[in-house]
Structure formats: C-alpha cells, structure tokens
Structure 1
Amino acid sequence: AWPFPYEALEPWYCQAERMYQVRGSLGEDPTEPHHSAAYEYPPVPDEAPIADIRARLKRKGLHPFSLPLGLDLDAWLSKARTPWDAHPNARDGKMDAETAALSVALSHENVRLETNARVTRLDTGAGSRIDRVTYVKNGETLTVSPEIVILAAGAVQSSVLLLRSKNDRFPKGLANSSDQVGRNFMNHNASAVIGVSPRFRNTSIYQKTFAFNDFYLSDGEGGPPLGNVQLLGRISEKVLKGSLPQAPEWLLRFITGHAIDFYAMSEDVPNPESRVMVDGDRIILQWQRTNWDAHLALVARLKAILKSIGFPIVLARPFDKRTPSHQCGTIRIGNDPAAAPLDAYCRAYDHDNLFVVDASFLPTSAAVNPALTIAAQALRVADHIASKDLQARDALADRTDKIGK
C-alpha cells in the first residue's frame, strides 16, 4: 500500500505537468482521477490514419483518449518530420529531465553539474548520517561531504550503491535495516501488438497520440484489471528486421506501411524475491515476473479488438528483461521502518540526511509509465526539504534572538 492517498500527490502532478509542458485533454478517459488544474496546452492532434483508428475503436464502445505528451510541438515541427517515441533529447522540443528540469536548475549560480564522474560509495560517520560521498572523476578518487544526500540513480543502480556501501555498523548495506533494499523489483509486463491490413495505409509520422484504459480497472466483464493500451511510435522495417531477420525488406516495408502499432502494458506486482543483488563487481538481477496471465489476457483482448476493426493479421511480441520497461520499486516508501527503507517523503529511516528520489521509491508499479509520478514526488520531497530547512533556520533565528535579549 502507498503511505499516502492520491490527493497528497495530486497538486504536484499538476505542477509536474506544467513543468514538462504536458499537452492533453481532460474528460476523455473514464478512469481518470481528479485534476485540480487543466492542461495548459491542447493535445497533439491525430494524423488522418490515426484519427481513423480512434473512430473505429469508439464505434466498438471503447474510450480512446488523447495521450498526455510532454512536448513543445512548434519546436518539434520546425525541425523535422520524425517520431518522438524513443527519441533522445536533442533540444528540439521533446520535454525530458534535461530539457525541462536540469537545464533550468543550471541557470542558478549555486548549482553545478559534475560530469564524467561516477559515485562509488556512501559512508557514514560515527553516527548514522551520510558524511561522505566518494566518486571517481577522470581516474581520480574524490570525496564530498554534503549536508543532504539525494540519491537518484535509478531502481537498479541506486540499490547497487546502497548495497555496496555496507560497513561494520550497516552490514546489509545502507538504508537496509529492513532488508528490503534491492527487493520488490518491478518491470512492467509489456508487449508490442501490431495489426496489419492491406486495406489500411499508415502514412502517419508521429502515431503515438492516443491510449485507452477500458481494461485498466477490470477486464471489462467484472474480472480483475488487465492494464493500459497505447499507441507505439511507428515501427519501421529496420526495427522489424531485428525480430524477423529472415524476412526480405520489401515485405517488412509492406507490413509496416499497412500496420498500426500498439503497446500493451500490465502491472508487475511487488515480490520480495524479485530483486537486485551484488556479487563483487557483478550486478545480479533476479526478476520474477508476476501478473503474467493478466497481461496475456490483455494482449488477447487487444488482438481480438484489432481483428474486429479490420486488421486480419495481428502480431504480438512480449518484451523481456533485455528491453526494460519502467524498472522500479527496489527502495520503496512505507510507514513501517521494518518493511520499507524510506518514509513517505523518501527519507531513509536509517539515515536522516539521505533521500532516494527516483523510480526506486514506488511501492507498486501501476500499469502506466511512472515518469510523471516520479517527477511529482520529487517536487513534493523538494518542497518538504525546503520547508523543513526554513523551519530549522527560523528556530535557530528565534533561539539566537532570545539569547541576544
């Protein structure tokens, strides 16, 4: 269970959406929770072939909604006609952590980014606080002693760093008196599902503009939830060649030109035996899939839907651990220090100046991309740290004033 309700995070979701210039539309998704603020930008419009597919799905009684996308559309369109799915930041309109957050932070004089550096260890002093961060930069070992350490290396590497930083007082690793660091690794169950029809011509460039959650809260017949379905970025013949190496390129070009590409995503349920471990320099990922039957049911539903709207050939391929899909959960938050390494504000129970603010903190994976939740929680944690710091300074000023009197 999450240690706080959705309402505690909701204002920060809205702030993160503004920060990342998210484009979207409220009221189309029947599973949508409360939004206290509307999207500042309208959704990315469907290209003609995608609008056709959206209309076909609506006629089947489904509820496709405009996919929220962090994008400066004018900047993107001014550069080139290229898809944005899986497109790395090139300062060309796609909003990511560098574009929307890091570059803004670096505009302040008191922020510095240390590049070509790798943190190798966190050390505690006589007490439990983290008093030294060791890192290697250009072959030289250096240290820094900060007041607060915020770890955000990702669900695998954050766990690895804490486990490798074990010492005599913390023999299981830092922040790990609960023995939960590295455990509960989650990686979304995901499949590409491609519908092919000689009668359908896909001339779209962007494609990834809508999703539907009709099977998110249940299977549609009162059964358990299955997951989310959204469009993929266009799959080219070169991408398809990797899965079908023997097929001639002319055939793959025909398939991709007459196909619609979807991404089916289901929750991976936390399991303490699904975990990240270290063995010397080796990182061991022991991932045990959960909820796979629900995902197979979602793929089967999607395949049947695509066939019913005019796609006689439907191909499906699951992603395995070689294609990570939103890894999370290895240093989870919770109200019980015996069961979770972090409190509700991502502060380590074992070290009062250590926060872990990345995908590691998620207690559950849900069945959607966790990026906005991570961003919202980061803003919430930052506000908490800043307010506590302000309270401490006010208390110190008050004590100093009383001493002066």
Structure 2
Amino acid sequence: MTDTDILIIGSGMGGASLAAGLAPSGLRILILERGEYLADQPAARDPAAIFGRGHFRPTETWLTPEGDRFNPGNYAYVGGNSKFYGAVMMRYRAADFAPIRHLGGMTPGWPFDYATLAPWYARAEALYQVRGNYALDPTEPHHDAPYPFPPIPHEPAIADLARRLQAIGLHPAPLPLAVDLDRWLARAATPWDAFPDTTGGKLDAETAALAQALRHPNVRLETGVTVQRLVTEGDQISAVITDRGRFCAARVVLAAGAVMTAAILLRSADERHPTGLANRSDQLGRNFMNHNASAVLALSGRRNRSIYQKTLQINDWYLGDGQGGAPLGNVQLLGRVSAPILAAQTGMPGPLARLIASHAIDFYAMSEDLPNPESRVRVRGDDIVLDWRRSNWAAHLALVGKLKTALKRAGFPIVLSKAFDRRTPSHQCGTARMGNDPATSVTDSYGRCHDHPNLWICDASLLPTSAAVNPSLTIAALALRQADRIASEAA
C-alpha cells in the first residue's frame, strides 16, 4: 500500500520545480522537507546579523578527509538554498553541453544538446518570472521568445560601469534575475544576494514553484521530516525511512541537494547493494564539483551609492580567453558589499571597511570546476565526508587576472580579490550524474536511476558538468522536463 503516488524528498529548486510541473497531472504528491518555513524577522535584513553573527547559518558540520570539521553553509528551509540565492537564472551556453577542452582538462559533455533542453528553459523562466534581455550577450544561446519581464534596471554607478566596460571593448549584459524589485525593496533597502527571502521579493523555490504546486489539492508538504535511508524490495524502492516513520510511494524522487542526495543513497546500503543504492556504476558520490569563485572589489575615487548592485555580467572570456585560448568563465556583480558585510568577512576595522565599501563595486568571478571521480562525497557513520579536489584553478586565476586588467583600464586603479573556500557552497553539483551508459552514470537523461526503476533524482546531483554559470535555472528546467516524463508514464 502506498501513501502517495510520488514522494519528493526536498523542497529546493529541483523538488519544488518538479512538484509545480507535476501538480496539474492530478497525481498524489507528497513533499518531505527536513527544514521549516523561514519566518520574517528583523535579522532577515540586518547584514551584521547575517554575515557577522551568522544568525541563519546552519549548525550542521561535515568532515574533511583528514577528519577536520567545517560548516558548509547549506541551508535546510522550505525552498532550500534558494532562500538565500542571488536569484541569477542563467541558461548554460550551447557549447557547455558538448565536450570542451579547458586548461585543466576535458569535460565529458551531456547526454543531449542545448536544443533538447531549450523548451524547458523557457518554461522555467516563466515559472520563476525571470527579468532579462539576452540580446546584449554574445554568448547567450538561442531563445524562442523574450524573457517574461524586462531586465532589472542598473543603478547609476552600475550604468556608468557598463559604459566604461563598453568603452574598452567588452560586452556587459543584464543578469537574468528572478526578483520582484519593488516587493524586495518595500521590505528594506538592501541587496538580495545572500539575504534570506522572507516576504517573497525573490522568486525562489518556495515563493515561485512550491507556492504554485500547493495550490493544487493533490500536493502536500510535510516539514521537519529527516530522511534517513531508503529500503528496497528487488530493484524497487519499497519504503522511505524517516525520523517520523515510514513512507511508501509508487515513485520516489530524491531532491535533497548534491551532497545530501548522495549521502542518503550511500547510507541506504544493504546486502544486495553494499556500496549504496543506485551505485552499480560506482559513480555515486563521485565527480563532486563546486565552482571556482573569487570576490573582486574594484575601487576608485567615485562613490558607489548602489543598494542592490547585482544587475550586470560579463561573458567575454566565457568561451575563450580572447586570444584563442581555453574558456575562463563568467563574471557577474555581487550584491552590494556594505561596510558591515566587508568587516564581517575580512575582519578589517570598521572605519577602513566603510572607506573601501563606499568606493568599491563588487564582482563575482566564476570558473568551471571539472568532474573528477576522486572528488567525492562519502559517509562515515553519521558524518558526511567531503573530499573536494579543486580543478581548473589556472583558468580561474587567468579569469581574475583578465578582470583586474580590464577594470584598471576602465578607471578603477585599485582592484582586490579573495577566493572562496570550501566553507562557501559555490553551486555544488555532480554526485549522481546523468548519462546514457549505466556503467558510467547514476541516472538516465531524465533523472531515473539505472538500478531502480521507481527511483528518480531531481537536483544538482544530475549535472554532468558545472559549466561556469549559476545552476538554478538548469536544475529547474531539468525538473520540468522530468515532470513531463513522469506524468506521461503515469497517464
């Protein structure tokens, strides 16, 4: 006997988008989320509370291979990490779906091309009400229709930056964003990047997709439920064991995030599956990727009075270094780094932080991390062990160098940079990659596990490559494509 037709574990970008896509089918859908709803509170717009005191930062710790504990900063709320995301909804470039030679090695490519996913990219942009204008970015792949809304306007300092970048031959373009700007600013005049969404100003997994799914009477959400393991009967998943009891469903979908999804499957090892479920290929937990990323601050004598700032990107070095060399990555603006944020992140004295913050424009440089089977997630008792083998670092250093040179030419005489480390989750992905060959992948191209016909995965675990763009839109597009597949099979 089943409790539901489809049981989705996790309400982040993958799980919530899948639920939204499946809701009109009439299938009974139950979503289990280990977190609770994120309530509005004064700390939600207090940078000192968020970045200094870590008010919202989870207490969960993981282990390095050497046994050192660290806080990974992964959030467990309804909506998952998207509650704190920068709301950037970028498509992978068309070239990202094919093998590419990077400075650090070759990427394997995807089991399908960009054109295959393009219709679901458009549906995901509609679901998340994306604001943008793809015409100004020469690397943007083909769109069949414009974005649902025009781009969020640049503030004066950013409009001036765009003109300066254009003057030196670059192609600054609007960031595609899932933000209702008026609603966001009505709560408080702050950036949205890394700030929690408690009033719906960001179109995140909860406020966009989950809210739409829950309008249907066949969709139900249970919060505060921690999934411990899955149980099999033959090749089928027969039950989901949680701290709130046992759940059964005709189809089970893991959407707990790249690390937690792998950990749940590894912890579900049994006599028939001693290395974990869905792991006949020995690829489960492997190929962990986490973007190479740095914060870059460009200083000048001009004051930056921006509030939100995060509206511009540069992809001139995305497909190559501009001199016939390998791809380097994407550059986009960070949310405005105010003095309290800068002081909290660097430890510098308040007066110096105020001086620098008032004259800086803040960038996020992001380069592709390549899949490596030795970069992986393991479990050790109740602990998660993350052995991230950073790759392609030379390309990232080259990207930061190109950006610094360009910014100095554009009128920013001082440019500072600082790399993010493993404590900052920079778009974790790849631990259950999709593919056509069961010997080298965990799922098929729709996210169904090769080893278990009623087990699906629907989160960043599926991504065969990290590319050098924010993964949220791609996760949502894959989820909507998976929803159509499941609904057609169940019809």
TM over 0.5: yes
- Are 1:118 and 2:226 an aligned pair? yes
Opposite residue 97 of structure 1, the aligned amino acid is A
- Are 1:238 and 2:346 an aligned pair? no
Deviation for aligned residue 1:86:
1.2
Deviation for aligned residue 1:248:
2.5
2-structure distance, mates of 1:21, 1:115: 26
Whether contact under 8 Å (2:121, 2:477) holds in the other structure is yes
Q: Which residue of 2 aligns with 1:96?
A: 204
Whether contact under 8 Å (2:200, 2:207) holds in the other structure is no
CA shift digits 1:141-165 (9 cap, x unpaired): x101100001000000000000000
Q: Which residue of 1 aligns with 2:377?
A: 276
Opposite residue 362 of structure 1, the aligned amino acid is L
Q: Which residue of 2 aligns with 1:31?
A: 139
Q: Which residue of 1 aligns with 2:306?
A: 204
Opposite residue 389 of structure 2, the aligned amino acid is Q
Deviation for aligned residue 1:378:
0.1
Q: Which residue of 1 aligns with 2:267?
A: 164
Whether contact under 8 Å (2:187, 2:199) holds in the other structure is no
2-structure distance, mates of 1:101, 1:240: 33
2-structure distance, mates of 1:191, 1:373: 22
Aligned mate of 2:331, from 216, 223, 229: 229
Query: 3-state SS of the aligned residue for 2:112?
Result: coil
2-structure distance, mates of 1:92, 1:204: 22
- Are 1:366 and 2:473 an aligned pair? no
Opposite residue 209 of structure 2, the aligned amino acid is A
Whether contact under 8 Å (2:184, 2:199) holds in the other structure is no
Aligned mate of 1:19, from 116, 127, 141: 127
2-structure distance, mates of 1:218, 1:358: 29
Deviation for aligned residue 1:196:
1.1
Q: Which residue of 2 aligns with 1:68?
A: 176
2-structure distance, mates of 1:27, 1:161: 42
Whether contact under 8 Å (2:329, 2:468) holds in the other structure is yes
Opposite residue 261 of structure 2, the aligned amino acid is S
Deviation for aligned residue 1:242:
3.1
1-structure distance, mates of 2:269, 2:409: 56
CA shift digits 1:230-281 (9 cap, x unpaired): 0001112222223432x32112101100001000000000000000001111
Opposite residue 133 of structure 1, the aligned amino acid is V
1:1-400 to 2 correspondences below 5 Å:
1-125=109-233, 127-137=234-244, 142-197=245-300, 199-245=301-347, 247-390=348-491
2-structure distance, mates of 1:41, 1:116: 35
2-structure distance, mates of 1:78, 1:318: 33
Whether contact under 8 Å (2:287, 2:371) holds in the other structure is yes
Whether contact under 8 Å (2:237, 2:455) holds in the other structure is yes
Whether contact under 8 Å (2:253, 2:456) holds in the other structure is yes
Query: 3-state SS of the aligned residue for 1:270?
Result: coil
Query: 3-state SS of the aligned residue for 2:190?
Result: coil
Query: 3-state SS of the aligned residue for 1:315?
Result: strand
What TM-score, normalized by structure 2, do the two folds share?
0.77
Query: 3-state SS of the aligned residue for 1:147?
Result: strand
2-structure distance, mates of 1:309, 1:33: 28
Whether contact under 8 Å (1:79, 1:92) holds in the other structure is no
Query: 3-state SS of the aligned residue for 1:69?
Result: coil
2-structure distance, mates of 1:149, 1:361: 16
Deviation for aligned residue 1:91:
2.4
Q: How many residues align?
A: 383
Q: Which residue of 2 aligns with 1:395?
A: none
Deviation for aligned residue 1:310:
1.5
Deviation for aligned residue 1:90:
1.1
Opposite residue 172 of structure 1, the aligned amino acid is T
Q: Stretches of 4+ moved more than 4 A in 1?
A: none
Moved more, 210-219 or 100-109: 100-109
Whether contact under 8 Å (2:429, 2:463) holds in the other structure is yes
Report the structure number with the largest CA radius of gyration. Answer: 1
1-structure distance, mates of 2:122, 2:190: 28
* Larger RCO (alpha carbons 8 Å, 6+ apart): 2
Opposite residue 385 of structure 1, the aligned amino acid is I
Query: 3-state SS of the aligned residue for 2:405?
Result: helix
Say what the alpha-carbon RMSD is for the aligned residues: 0.9
CA shift digits 1:26-85 (9 cap, x unpaired): 210001101012111110001111100010000010000010000122322333222111
2-structure distance, mates of 1:37, 1:310: 36
Deviation for aligned residue 1:200:
1.2
CA shift digits 1:204-237 (9 cap, x unpaired): 1010001010000000100000000000011122
Query: 3-state SS of the aligned residue for 1:114?
Result: strand
2-structure distance, mates of 1:12, 1:206: 29
Opposite residue 240 of structure 2, the aligned amino acid is V
1-structure distance, mates of 2:112, 2:349: 53
Query: 3-state SS of the aligned residue for 1:113?
Result: strand
2-structure distance, mates of 1:252, 1:73: 27
Deviation for aligned residue 1:324:
1.2
Q: Which residue of 2 aligns with 1:402?
A: none
Percent sequence identity is 61
Whether contact under 8 Å (2:313, 2:332) holds in the other structure is yes
What TM-score, normalized by structure 1, do the two folds share?
0.93
1-structure distance, mates of 2:181, 2:230: 42
